[in-house]
Chain A
Amino acid sequence: MAIALLITTLGFATLIFVQEAKSPPLIYGAYYAGTMVALYLGVRLWLPHADALLLAVVTLLTGVGLVMIYRLTYDVSGRENLATTQAGWILVGTAALVLTALLFKNYHRLFNYKYLLAAVAVGLIASTIFFGYEVNGAQLWLKVGPVNFQPSEFARIALIIFFAGYLADTRDLLAATSRTILGVQVPALKYFGPVAFVWAASLGLLVFEKDLGSSLLFFAVPLLMLYVATGRIAYVILGALLFAAGSLTTYYLFDHVQVRVQTWLDPWSDPNGTGYQVLQSLFSIADGGITGTGLGEGFSQAIPEVQTDFIFSAVASELGLLGSTALLLAFLVFVYRGIKISLLAADDASKLLAFGLTSMFAIQTLIIVGGVTKAIPLTGITLPFVSYGGSSVVGNFILTGLLLVVSENAGRRAAEEAAPEFVEGEAA
C-alpha cells in the first residue's frame, strides 16, 4: 500500500509537472491532487481492509484524463474550461464515492431493494425518451435543473446490483434446471423471467435511443454475470446467438447501425463524411508511433469529440504505443483487482456484484478502445475515468466505491479469519 501511495504521489508529481509545462491553472491541479490524496487516506481509514490500489489506478486514469482534456481543449474557443469542469466532476465523483462508502458500507442492504433498483434503472433509461434531448444522434441526456446528465451511466450500476442480488438468490435454481429445448437446457421461466424481462426492457430502450455502446454493455454484462453465476457456457452460447440475431435485425432495421457498420468495414469510401472521425482517429494514432509525438505536439484535435469518446486516440497520438499500452495496463490492473475482489468476496451476491461492476468497466474500455482503433465498429461510449463527461466520471466513482466496500467486507472477513493466529504478533 505504501508502494501504491508512492506511485500515486509520483504519478501526481509527473502529471502536475507536465501540466505546469503547459501552463494550466495550477491551482486546480493542486485541488485535484489534494482531493485524491485525501480520498486515498480517508478510504484507508474508513475502509482499512479495502483494496486501495483501485484508488491509485483511478487517480492515474483521471489524472491522465485531466491532462489530456486540458491539452485538447485549452485553446479551443468555447471549450477552454472543460478541464476545470472535469476536475469539478471528479470532486463530485469523489463525494459520491465517499457517500457510497459511508451509506453502503453494509451494501447487502442494497440487495433487499433489488426490484426497486431495477425499476428505477429502467425508469431512468426510459425517462430520456420522454424528457431527454438528443446529442449527436442519440437521445441520452436528461436535464435536471442546471445539470445535464446521462441517466444510463447510473442505470447500469443499479441494474448490476439487481442482477447480482437476483442471480445470487436464484443461481442454483437457474443452474439446476433439467428442461431442455432443442438440446439447450432452459431454466424455468419463473426464475429466469425477471432477469430476461429487465434485460430485454433496458436493451430495447437503449436500442431505440440509438445508444449502441450502452446496449452492448447491457447485453454483455448480465450475460457474463449469468455465466459466472450458473457456470453454464450454454447461456453464453445462447446469448451470443441472440446477439447475432439481434445485431442482424438492428442492422436491417436502423440506418444509423448500418452506417456504423459500413463505416467500420470501409471508412475510406467516405473519408470526409461518415469515415472522417475514425480515419482522423487512425491518422492520429499512427502519427504517434512508438514513442508518440509528445504531449501537446499531436494533432488529435482534428478528431471530432476527441475529449470524450476519442480521448484514447489522443493519448495514443501524443504518448505513442508505449503510453497507450501503459494506459491499457492501468485499466487491466483495475480489472484484475476487481476480479480479485470478486474472488475473495464471501457470498455470491458480493461476488456477482464485484464481478458485474468490474466486467462493465472492462467491457466498456474494450468497446471504446476497440472502436477508436477500428478493431470493432465504433459505438459512442466513454473511456472510464479518462474521457470528459460528468455522468461517466461520477458513475465510475460510484462503481469504484461499491468495489471498495465489497473489498472491505472481504478483506475484513479474511483479516478476522487470520486474526487469531496473529494476535501475539500484533500485540508485539
Chain B
Amino acid sequence: MNTQLRRTFYLFAAGFVALVGVMAYWQVYAREDLTNHPSNGLQSQRSQETPRGLIFAGDGETVLARSERAGGNEYERIYPEGEVFANVVGYWSNRFGASGIEIGQNNNLSGTGEPETLDELLNQFSGGPETGNNVTLTVDPELQREAYNQLAQSNTGRGAVAAFDPQTGETLALATYPSYDPNVVIDEGFEEISNEPNNPLLNRATQVTYPPGSTFKVITAAAALEAGVRPTDRFNDDGTYETPGYSFGNYRGKAYGNVTFAEALVFSINTVFAQIAVDRVGPEKLAAMAREFGFGYEYEDYPLYVAPSDLGLPPEEWAEGNTAPISFGQDRVVSNVFEMGLVASAIANDGDMMQPRLVREVRSSDGIILDRPTPRPLNEALPEGTARTLNEMMQGVVEEGELVAAQIQGTKVAGKTGTAENPQGEPHSWFISFAPADDPEIAVAVVVENGGVIGEDGAAETPALTIAGNLMRAYLDRPAPAPPSTQPNLPAGVPGGGPGEVLDPAQRPAQPSAPDQPGAPVDPFAPFRNAAPQQQQQSQPGQPPASQQQPLQPVPRPQDEGPG
C-alpha cells in the first residue's frame, strides 16, 4: 500500500511542478503578449491610479501639469497653464489618448520605466508607491507666454513660433495659435475641440509644414557660398529669370540691376538666387545642403512629433523650372518653424546644429536627478567660416534692409524674411533670426499663416518680423533700436507695447519699406534704394506655375494630430 501512496504523492508533486511551470509561462514567457493585449485594461487602470509626475517649465518653478486625486484611487491631470503650453505639454486622457510631452515622456512621467534609483528598485520589489518622475522642460515660460500672446494678436491669429538656444539646442519657446485647453480636452471636450474649423489641436510649430518662401534663401546662400560664390560677386537682375517654359520675377515686379550676392540676400532677389541655384549650385548640392540643415530629418529624439521638412521631388528629377523656385523656397518646398528655427540656430552656432532638446532634466519624485542631457551637436551643417559669412550676410538683411522691427539697440541681429505664396490665400509671413549675432543666445523662427496680407500698394504685411523682434528683445531684455530717423510713433519695442496691431507697412514710419520712401541718410545701398528695398520679395506674381511639370503648388500638409 505504501508503494501506491508514494506513487500518488509523486503524481501530486508532478502536478504542482507543472503548475509552477504554467505560472512561469504566463508570468515570464507570455507576459509581454498579455500585457499588450488589447483586451487588457490593467495598464490604463494602473496609469489612472498612479499619480503621474509633474511637468515644469524651464524656470523649474512654473508647473505645467500635475496630478490631483479626483476621488477614490484615481488621479486626474491638471494643466495650470492651459492653452499656452498645450502644444508642448499635451494632454493625458484615458478616453482620448495622449499627446505632447505627456506621451513623449510617458515612461518617466508614469514611473513605468526601468527603475533608476535604489528606492525605485525597492519600491518595485516591495510594491510601494511608484510615483512618476518629474520632468523639467527647457521652455522659458515668459517667452512662451509672450510668443503665444503675440501670435494671438497677429493679423490672422494663426501661426507658430519656435525659439532655440543656438549653443545648446534647448527649445526656449514652441508656441502655436490657436491652441486648446487640455483641461477641457480631458474633461469631455475633445470632440468639440477637434471639430473646430481652425484646428486648435494641431501643433503648427511642428506638425504642420508650410512653404518657407524666402527664408529658404539662407540655405541656398549657404550652398552658394560652399560652391564658391562670394558675397561680393556681382550678378545682374533684369527683373525676370527665364527657364525653359517659365519665367520668374521678383517681388512686386522689381528689377535691381547689377547687385552683389550679399545685396541679393538683403533685397531677397529671386532672380539672382534662381541664377545661382541653377548655374552655380545645381540641384544635387542644393538638396544636399537642405539635408545638412535637417530637411527630411524626423528628429526622432525630440519628444514631440516633428513633421519632416521636404523639398518635394528628389533632386535628380528637378528641371530648371523646379530648381529656380526651390532656391527661394517655393515649388514644393515645405518646412515649419521648428526646422527653420534650427536652420537659424545652426548658422548662429558657427554652422553646428545642436541636438534640439525639450527636456532639461528628469528627477525622481524625491528629487534625485535621473537624467540631465548635455548639449551635443547633431550635425555640422556648415564649416565655421561659411557660417560666419552667412551670419554677416543675414546681419546685413536686418541692418541694410532696415528691418527696424527686428532691430535691437546695441545688439546685432541677423535674420531673413519670407513671404511664402500658397494656394490657401494670402502669403504666409515668415521670419527667421538670431541675436546677438556675434554671440547668439536665441534663434527664432516665426510663421503667421496667411499673414503676408498684400496691401493696396502691393507690399505685404510682415507680422512675423514684428513678433520675432519682440520676442528677441523680450528674451534678451533689451530695448528696441533708437529711431534712426524721425519716428514719433515707434513703439518702444517693449514686449506687449502694441505688438498686436496689424502691421501695415504704410503705417510704420519706422520702416522705410514703402517704395516711395527714399530711406535713411546713411544708405550703402543707395543704387537700389529707388528700387524699393523690401523686407520680402516674392516670385511670379503674374505667373501661376501651373503646368505639367509643376502640377502642384506647395501645399501645407497638416499631419493628423496626435502623438507621433
Contact = CB atoms under 8 A, between A and B. Distances in A.
Interface of A: 75, 224, 227-229, 231, 268, 271-272, 279, 282-297, 299, 302, 316, 318, 320-321, 324-325, 328-329, 331-332, 335-336, 339, 342-343, 348, 351, 355, 359, 362-363, 365-366, 369-370, 373-375
Interface residues of B, number: 41
A335 B41 CA distance: 37
Contact of B9 (A283, A335, A363): A335
B18 A231 contact: no
Interface in B1-37: 1-6, 8-9, 12-13, 15-16, 18-20, 22-24, 26-28, 30-31, 34-35, 37
Contact of A272 (B5, B12, B39, B45): B39
A224 B24 CA distance: 29
Contact of B45 (A229, A299, A329, A332): A299
A286 B27 CA distance: 4
A282 B40 CA distance: 10
Given A286-B31, A343-B5, A325 B20 contact: yes
Q: Which 3 A-B pairs have the closest CB atoms?
A: A294-B127, A286-B34, A271-B39
A335 B10 CA distance: 11
Nearest to A321: B27
22 contacts: A228-B1, A228-B5, A228-B8, A282-B26, A287-B34, A294-B124, A297-B127, A297-B130, A299-B42, A316-B26, A318-B127, A324-B23, A325-B23, A328-B23, A329-B16, A335-B9, A339-B5, A362-B15, A369-B19, A370-B15, A370-B22, A375-B19
Nearest to B37: A283
Given A321-B23, A321-B27, A369-B19, 11 more contacts: A227-B8, A228-B5, A279-B39, A285-B23, A293-B127, A320-B27, A335-B13, A339-B9, A339-B12, A343-B2, A375-B19
Contact of A375 (B4, B12, B18, B128): B18
B126 interface: yes
B124 A283 contact: no
B495 to A, nearest CB: 48
Contacts of B28: 289-290, 321
Contact of B22 (A227, A343, A375): A375
Contact of A370 (B12, B19, B27, B42): B19
Contacts of A229: 1
B126 A321 contact: no
A325 B18 CA distance: 11
Interface string B114-148: 00000000011111101000000000000000000
Interface of B: 1-6, 8-9, 12-13, 15-16, 18-20, 22-24, 26-28, 30-31, 34-35, 37, 39-42, 45-46, 49, 73, 123-128, 130
A78 B128 CA distance: 27
Contacts of B37: 283
Given A294-B127, A325-B20, A369-B19, A284 B12 contact: no
B19 A366 contact: yes
A331 B13 CA distance: 10
Q: Is the interface of A mostly helix, strand, loop or mixed?
A: helix
B5 A321 contact: no
A313 to B, nearest CB: 10
B22 A373 contact: yes
Given A229-B1, A287-B42, A294-B125, A373 B8 contact: no
Given A299-B42, A343-B2, A373 B26 contact: yes
The residue in B12, B28, B46, B126 that gathers the most chain A C-beta atoms within 10 A of its C-beta is: B12
Given A231-B3, A287-B35, A343-B5, A302 B42 contact: yes
Contacts of B9: 335-336, 339
A373 to B, nearest CB: 5
Nearest to B43: A287
A373 B42 contact: no
A328 B31 CA distance: 20
Contacts of A292: 127
Given A288-B27, A316-B27, A362 B12 contact: yes
A286 B30 contact: yes
Contacts of B49: 299
Contact of B24 (A294, A321, A336, A343): A321
Nearest to A272: B39
A329 to B, nearest CB: 8
Contacts of A288: 27
Contacts of B24: 321
B40 A231 contact: no
Nearest to A294: B127
A46 to B, nearest CB: 27
A224 B5 CA distance: 9
Nearest to B13: A332
Nearest to A285: B26
Contacts of A271: 39
